[in-house]
Structure 1
Amino acid sequence: MIKRILVTGATGQQGGATALELLSHGFHVSALTRNLYSPAAQELANKGAELVEGDWSNLDSIALSLEKVDAVYMVLPSTWNMSEEEDNKEADLGIAFIDLLKLKKIKYVIYSSVMMADKHTSFRPRFKHTIEEYLWKSGLKATVLHPATFMENFLMPSSGVSEGILYNFMPKGRKVPYITTEDIGVFARIVFEDPETYVGRTLDLAGDEVDEQEILKALNTSLGKGLKLIQLPKEALEAQNILFGKLIDMFTNTPFPTLDFATLRKLNPQLRTFPAWLEQFGKEKFNSKIQD
């Protein structure tokens, strides 16, 4: 039975949401953080998490904590600078961490990857799909999560919303799957509660599929603002980062997975659509950012 779980990236959005969800359902959570005294870390401690100080640049700093847990929720440090060098670093780190998990005889692993990870192979030779393949070959009992794009990304400055603008990076008119980090945490908890049902499986996770016009309408309705939509051409994005341009090509020309929302909602009845996320979480956060 899985009761003690190490959550990596526990003070980030996804790891933090997962740690809180697990704590609220009686799991013992070891929360990996570089800074034991950060507000996010202290919030987890106040909720009952055991804080574990560790740094991805030194896996030995994480090794001891693995001797005290049954399972691991594995989310690697995010990078916003898309490059072959960064992809290689992420792949190498994921592989080294899986080797450490195997050495420490971890009973179960959930690896949070990204939706359509396998579709990146043509332009990102080593990326999250590399880590997934290594995990499946490792002999560890595991589940891989393929979360869609985070709804929380719209809170970032690059969305333009804080300046009264909505920049659309995605193909014009294309319905794109999105999910909240809170719902990723719910699905992680469901897997840890019943690991034998999900062992060896990859789960595509989303709460909604919306295009830029639906996003704009939801934002304007919720926030009471008149955001201006600006479509960013692929050529401009590619000029800034060639890999990002190729990512937009993939989104344009490759179908998204067929998502079984009925089954997802049966597992998680509170699965949030984009408007529901705005009302429950996003609206308050946006209102603190938007310049009047």
Structure 2
Amino acid sequence: MPILLLVVILGIVEGLTEYLPVSSTGHLILATELLGFRASDWEAFNVAIQPGAILAIVVLYWRTFWDVFTGLFRKDAGAWRFVRNLVVACVPAVVLALLIGDYIEALLGNAVVVAWALVIGGVAILIIERLVRPRECGGVQNLTLRQSATVGLIQCLAMVPGVSRSGATILGAMSIGVDRKTAAEFSFFLAMPTLSGATAYYLLKHHDRVPAEMYGNILIGSLVSFVVALVVVKLFVGFVTRFGFAPFAWYRIIAGGAALVWLTLR
């Protein structure tokens, strides 16, 4: 397979899965293996194209970010609570990454871990969807300090590839009473500092894993993921508000089960 085609495919996978509760990292690992390449060889690329998907959130929610930015200077309480909630939710992942980052990185090429995490995560989504009854919160700025900290702690589960950062944060928020729309948007906004920090940390630490000839591929992959993520995010909130997360849960279970069979037989 031509490298350029692989780059485009991985960019599409990143854009499709980054904000859905199905694990972008897990899908990138499995896609790389399915296409005949070693996931460990493309680990740096898969991390480096995340800014494309992050930029999609900036573009789609620019008015929200502008209102928060100007609100900080006006000393608007809602704007300050918005920022506070994001900062508090980011802290647990930062601390854990510094403590056990090397161990987590060792899992990034393990397709078996991804497959099991997809299945287990799918079952967890079905349980939460059935048992939890979220209530309207009125936006990210209205979350309490405890809710934000709890979502931040749950986000740490996504350090295991296949768990899904968006899935962990959205379902984690719903499990403590946050409505679907607010949970999804909090997950989107939380992705910006979390993924930006993780990408910068990884590339600074492992800059030697990114040869000069790969930068062009990273640019292409990021652009593809940006365009695809724009479409996905616009459709996602409306979809889950109407249908819930059960379709994603069943997809995870089927995809993870199929991956386990394939990995066992290959």
**More helix, by proportion:** 2
Provide TM-score, normalisation by structure 1. 0.27
Provide TM-score, normalisation by structure 2. 0.28
**More strand, by proportion:** 1
Structure with the bigger RCO (C-alpha within 8 Å, sep 6+) is 2
